[in-house]
Structure 1
Amino acid sequence: MTMSKTRSEGSLPVVSLPLPVDVTAPAVARQAVRATLGGLGLDGPEVDDVLLATSELVTNAFEHGEKPDRLEVEYSDGRLTLRVFDSGTSRPKLKEPSPMAARSRGLQLVHALSDDWGHELCSGGKYVWAVFSLARADASA
């Protein structure tokens, strides 16, 4: 797993991770986000929410985008932003899942767990983003 620091927001970098184009992408993304959050001194139950949202965003890109591309993680002023890029241009839709459906709850989970989420078209496709409020453990010191 190769993560690169691509730019800085204050003293905390944006981390960019290329995603594999196979079913391992969600696990690879979760591992990278967990390591990034740990490196920033972020822990607690909110981290589990971020990791679940990471899995859902990457799975959605894998299943509904045309090809997962990369994950970006940015932390600034107590706000963590995840961005998952894929080569598709179809816009994600928040839909009410059928009670009998075993799937189609990913964006509902992201909506419930994050402070905000959305998508943007960009060169080569789109990205879906989610924002979380997370305080660093040393912020109260």
Structure 2
Amino acid sequence: MTTMIVDEQLDSLLEQWPDERVPVCAPAEPEPVVWTADGTAECALAHDASAPAAARHLIQTVLGAQGVSDEAVDSVLLVASELVTNAVEHAQAPLTLHVRPQHTGEQVWVGVTDGGPAMVEGAWMRSCSPEEHGRGRAIITALAHDHGHHTHTNGHATYWAQLAAA
């Protein structure tokens, strides 16, 4: 049911936007992945428009190796894209992506740590009208079992979501 709601919302949005060529930033050379003791894959991301693509590449690699279903990977990719895009547009560098399959592969935890709130909005936010943004939280809420954020003592923040892996 959740997937159907998101599909309907995306179809509705696509009908509103005319087909146009959009420049796509090529992903930067990937940073090395670090594995923590709890099985989390972590990777630094550039604080620019290439970050969502780099995050998706890492997630596909990590979750593919863990045997996570294609449908679950697709949901994690969409949620992570939203988290990373929000960090690029609303927060300061540095950015770090965290991906952790949990409970013998039944769930995936994904998070993005940023450098805290930005003083000014990102380039995309400044270039568009209010109708062109603001759907990320609804997408995350629709796909994730749980989501939230944690502000660290150094002012950095981690925004995270937990999704089914099957």
In 2, Cα distance between the equivalents of 1:110 and 1:74? 17
Rate the CA distance shift 1:68–1:54 in 2: closer, same or farther, 3 A: farther
Counterpart secondary structure, 1:104: coil
Give the alignment of 1:36-75 within 5 angstroms: 36-75=62-101
The answer as to whether partners of 2:115 and 2:156 remain within 8 angstroms in 1 is: yes
Alignment-mate amino acid for residue 130 of structure 1: A
Distance 1:107 1:46, change over 3 A: same
Greater percentage in strand: 1
Pick aligned residue for 1:21 from 27, 47, 54: 47
User: What is the distance in 2 between the residues matched to 1:89 and 1:125?
Assistant: 8
- Larger Rg computed on CA atoms: 2
Residues 107-140 of structure 1, C-alpha deviations (whole Å, 9 max, x = no match): 11111111110000013410000001113xxxxx
CA gap of 1:33–1:63, structure 2 versus 1, over 3 A, is: same
**Percent sequence identity over matched residues?**
34
Query: For the residues of structure 2 that align with 1:112 and 1:38, how far apart are their CA atoms?
Result: 23
Distance 1:132 1:33 in 2: 13
Could you say which structure has the higher helix fraction?
2
User: Amino acid of the residue matched to residue 102 of structure 1?
Assistant: E
**Aligned-pair distance for 1:3?**
0.7
Q: Secondary structure at the match of 2:161?
A: strand
Runs ≥4 residues deviating over 2 A: none
Which of residues 114, 130, 136 in structure 1 aligns to 2:161?
Answer: 130
Q: TM-score, normalised by structure 2?
A: 0.69
RMSD: 1.6
Under a length normalisation based on structure 1, what TM-score does the superposition of the two structures give? 0.81
Query: Secondary structure of the equivalent of 2:46?
Result: coil
The correspondence of residues 56-95 of structure 1 with structure 2, limited to 5 A, is 56-77=82-103, 78-89=106-117
CA–CA separation in structure 1 for the residues paired with 2:43 and 2:70 = 23
Gaps of 5+ in 2: 1-29, 119-129
- Could you tell me which residue of structure 1 aligns to residue 7 of structure 2? none
1:97 counterpart residue number: none
